[in-house]
Amino acid sequence: MTRAQKLRVGAGLTEDVARRAIYVDTQGVQGALPVVLGTLVEQRLDQVVFDTDFADAALAKELRISSVEAEAQSLLQLAQAEGRFVVGFSPRSLMMMAAQAEVDGLRSVFHDVQQVATDWGERHGTVSKPGPSLGSLLRLVGRDCPPGLDGKTTTKRLRDVRAMIQARGSYDALTPVAKGKWTKLLLHNRRRCEGMRALLLALVEQAAVV
């Protein structure tokens, strides 16, 4: 059993833990390493781009360009040095990063908020099917869910932006529509980080009155 499965509302999950957690969301093509990693720490968002095909797009938004290895190690060091948990929505992408970077310790500090929320919902009879979406869980606990939070457009957006950058040579040369797709992808990344934080805090709050 992973540590993510052991963290439960009312058993190690407190408001302080939820507020101090490191919330992470990746955007990329399924089965491949992420293109974008978003990290939210106490409402401060950092977005980093791994794929050099998007380097010009990253610079246009003043984002860092880094490696999977460097960021996986940095996440682990921050979590260990400051006593924070790393929280994501399903472990697949982050664990792929950890494997690529050979940072096994990341597994020990990672917690799956989808699993935490599902466990809580099953105990209270509010979640009846496996694998609920982030949006459905936010609505379940009475929190706002931004439009498109569970959308499936990431792959198409990335492919379209990549193809046009390769064809035109720079981000500045992209059409307004293509630039908008990159902007929307980064906003989607931000909203998922913020949504996970809102979900975990809501679970703690509701546990206190149940």
Q: What's 3-209's CATH class?
A: alpha beta
Per-residue pLDDT, 127 = 65
| CA 1 to mean position of chain CA atoms | 22
Q: For the whole model, what pTM was predicted?
A: 0.90
pLDDT bracket for residue 7 (50, 70, 90): low
Query: What is the mean pLDDT of the segment spanning 101-126?
Result: 85
- Render pLDDT for 40-94 as a digit per residue (tens, 0 to 9): 999 899 999 999 999 999 999 999 999 999 999 999 999 999 999 999 998 787 8
CA angle 135, 141, 147 (to 5 degrees): 25
Per-residue pLDDT, 190 = 96
Domain boundaries, the chain: 3-209
Query: What is the mean pLDDT of the segment spanning 101-120?
Result: 88
Residue 208 has pLDDT above 60, yes or no: no
